[in-house]
Amino acid sequence: MTTSSSAPARRVRGALAVIGAAAVIVGGVNVVAHAADKADTLLLGKTNKAEKSTTLKNTGKGPALKLKAKKGPALAVNTKDLVKNLNAELLGGSTAGQLEPGVTAHALVATGAALPEGPSFRQFQLPAGTYLMNLNLAVDTDNSDWFVGCLASEASVLTGSGNVSGVHVGLNMSVDSPAYITDSTRIVTLPTASNIAFGCVMSTSDTEPVTAAGPPTLTIRLLSGAVAGTSAPLAVSIRQAREAVRAVR
């Protein structure tokens, strides 16, 4: 004989079923909400927080990340820590060569220009300190009779005393030189601020020009102290200029 369930029992089972279904629905919502909290999506225009570093990996070609800004910098950081492997072509709008500390160069003429006959000198003030001075020159010519001497010295060597001990660095070249390119380097210590003269004297009896393939250039590297700024023309007699450059050691 089959016994049917009573009405109260059916109502209890129905109520339990409803409660169970509700529990599943609520649990599912909680799972979805929890998944949303832990989602990997980056929210644009909002602050994103994570307990670990975020890695962007491009499995194709090109950079993994491009940053563009209509105004202001395209990237900002909140620490002064060194960022490894982060390279830049410019720093503060300047190249690495421009940022090299304590270096200045004075070129007498432009590359490809003819060296003027006679003395051609400039002067500048150099504060007390220790410097590495390098003087270099390269010429290109078909001239068959020429001589050129260049130096950096105390200006008084060329304008007053004529004491060649004040010559700091120099070089001589002529048609008999083994190569039409040369340079001279010396460490110079100035106990007090000095007026420095730099330039060349060129003489020839030929009409062919003596061209500066590499112009006469004095490069000064600061070792201790301050470095020179701009230079200005210096009037020098050809006699004193010749005596000074021929005395170059």
Segment 185-201, tens digit of pLDDT: 999 999 999 999 999 99
- How many CA atoms within 13 Å lie on the side-chain side of 117? 10
Q: How confident is the model at residue 231 (pLDDT cuts 50, 70, 90)?
A: confident
Distance of CA 70 to the CA centre of its chain: 27
User: Is 191 within the bounds of a domain?
Assistant: yes
pLDDT tens per residue across span 138-158: 999 999 999 999 999 999 999
User: To the nearest 10°, the Cα dihedral for 51, 53, 57, 62?
Assistant: 130
User: Is 21 within the bounds of a domain?
Assistant: no
Token pair of 21 as six digits: 């279904």
What's the CA gap between 165 and 244, in Å, rounded?
Answer: 9
pLDDT of res. 36? 46
pLDDT of res. 138? 95
pLDDT tens per residue across span 76-108: 888 877 777 677 766 666 565 555 557 788 999
Give the pTM. 0.54
Looking at every residue in the chain, the average pLDDT score rounds to 79
Backbone angles phi, psi at 244, to 5 degrees: -70, -50
User: Is 24 within the bounds of a domain?
Assistant: no
pLDDT of res. 195? 93
pLDDT of res. 95? 62
Closest CA to 243 of 178, 157, 116: 157
What's the CA gap between 66 and 42, in Å, rounded?
Answer: 15
β-pair partners for 121: 199, 234
Closest CA to 216 of 137, 147, 155, 151: 137
What's the CA gap between 169 and 86, in Å, rounded?
Answer: 41
User: Is 129 within the bounds of a domain?
Assistant: yes
User: Is 122 within the bounds of a domain?
Assistant: yes
Amino acid identity, position 156 = S
Q: Which residue has the tokens 């070249």?
A: 173
Expressed as residue numbers, the domain containing 146 is 102-246
| CATH number assigned to the domain comprising residue 183 | 2.60.120
Q: Which residue has the tokens 């660095």?
A: 169
User: Is 180 within the bounds of a domain?
Assistant: yes
User: Is 161 within the bounds of a domain?
Assistant: yes
| pLDDT above 90: percentage of residues in the chain | 37
pLDDT above 50: residue 31: no
Q: How confident is the model at residue 35 (pLDDT cuts 50, 70, 90)?
A: very low
User: Is 65 within the bounds of a domain?
Assistant: no
CA distances from 79 to 47, 69, 76, 236 (A): 18, 21, 9, 56
Q: How many domains does the chain have?
A: 1
What's the CA gap between 175 and 84, in Å, rounded?
Answer: 53
Closest CA to 216 of 175, 247, 176, 172: 172
Task: Tell which wins on pLDDT, 246 or 125.
Answer: 125
Q: How confident is the model at residue 32 (pLDDT cuts 50, 70, 90)?
A: very low
pLDDT above 50: residue 18: no
The answer to whether the CB of 169 falls within 8 A of the CB of 184 is: yes
Task: Tell which wins on pLDDT, 179 or 144.
Answer: 144
What's the CA gap between 197 and 166, in Å, rounded?
Answer: 10
Distance of CA 192 to the CA centre of its chain: 31
